[in-house]
Amino acid sequence: ILIFTDLDGSLLDHFSYSFSPAQPLLSLFNEIGVPVIPVTSKTRAELAVLRCELDNHDPFVVENGAAVFIPENYFSSPPAGCEVIDGFYRYQFSKPREYWTDLLAQQEAEFGGEFETFTHLGVEGIRASTGLTESAAQQASKREFSEPVLWLGLDERKLRFIETLREAGATVLQGGRFLHVTGAGNKGKALQWLSEQYRAEYPDSALLTIAAGDSDNDVDMLQVADCAVVVRSPVHSPPEVPHQHLYLSRQTGPQGWVEGVNWFLGAADRPETIDSI
């Protein structure tokens, strides 16, 4: 079993960023060796801190699928196409951040005043719009492959903005609070690439992939996993995910995460009817 999980709004509470309701299940997975792979909008700098707090030693995916990091001695041989960086193998799907900030700067002419980038928000602006602590906001500001954007304008204009960026080659993904502007990767591609690395390492095991997420930027990942847990959000409606094996949690955040993962592991009472979207 491989568990691929979104963080904000899924394993972490949307408001408090706490994962304590999931702690017992995470400890169990650690003990029995079930990998829990964060697949997140967050940066490598944020993951460095969070993985310590979570006591997580598995690979992770940053900035919405823009890059995958695998601890250097995790697999018996280096995965193809990776560079070694700070003790990790890195597989990169996207161009660097500067490419996307340049593209966004070009949008000022048509959309000036309608959006705010992370670069312009700065650490204080990020803190204010996310509720992260100052040091966490600092880590969030260290983007390497993508730029989050706060949309300030009207909804119709937002669609036009997204379309314009897509025509220019960007991938634009809606997170809980921000639009994420990045390159060719998405969470689904990252899941598939990483699953192939596990299959190569364990050719005789039948691997089952479970993915958990709460937002639109998780749909690509939820669709390609064998089992999809949609974690209910306290602030927005669940994303639409065409999937045969889908569970929509009744609870939100980490409680919903535990509920959904347990449901697929057969450890929860099977509800009379499965919630469907």
Catalytic residues, by residue number, are 6
The answer to whether residue 257 forms part of the interface with ligand 2M8 (CB under 6 A) is no
Out of 92, 130, 233, 252, the only residue in the binding site for ligand 2M8 (CB under 6 A) is: 130
Which residue lies nearest ligand 2M8, judged by its C-beta?
175
- Is 165 a binding residue for ligand 2M8 by CB under 6 A? The answer is no
Binding of residue 220 to ligand 2M8 (CB under 6 A): no
CB of 107 vs ligand 2M8, minimal distance in Å: 18
Q: Do 154 and 171 form a contact (C-beta atoms < 8 A)? A: no
Q: Which of 43, 107 has the CB closer to ligand 2M8?
A: 43
CA 14 to chain centre: 13
CA atoms within 13 A on the CB side of 157: 11
Q: Minimum distance between the CB of residue 65 and Mg ion, rounded to whole angstroms?
A: 10
Task: Quote the least distance from Cβ 218 to ligand 2M8, whole Å.
Answer: 9
92 or 197: whose CB is closer to ligand 2M8? 92
Query: Is residue 41 a contact partner of residue 144, using CB atoms and an 8 Å limit?
Result: no
Q: Is 215 in the site for ligand 2M8 (CB under 6 A)?
A: yes
Q: Which of 4, 178, 257, 263 is in the footprint of ligand 2M8 by CB under 6 A?
A: 178
- Residue from 222, 215, 214, 229 nearest 262 by CA: 229
Q: Coil, strand or helix: which one is 197? A: helix
Write out the residues near Mg ion by the rule CB under 5 A: 6, 8-9, 40-41, 214-215
123: partner contacted, choices ligand 2M8, Mg ion, none (Cβ within 5-8 A by kind): none
| Consecutive H or E run containing 115 | strand 115-117
Nearer to ligand 2M8, 139 or 197 (CB): 139
Q: What is the Cα–Cα distance from 182 to 19, expressed in whole angstroms?
A: 27
Q: Does 187 bind ligand 2M8 (CB under 6 A)?
A: no
Amino acid found at 133: T
* Ramachandran angles phi, psi of 124, nearest 5°: -65, -40
* Structure-token pair, residue 239: 């994303």
CA 152 to CA 103: how far, in whole Å? 18
Look up residue 19 and give its DSSP letter.
Answer: -
Stretch 4-43 residues interacting with ligand 2M8 (CB under 6 A): 8, 41-43
8 A C-beta contact, residue 176 and residue 233: yes
List residues near ligand 2M8 by CB under 6 A.
8, 41-43, 46, 130, 132, 140, 148, 175-178, 215
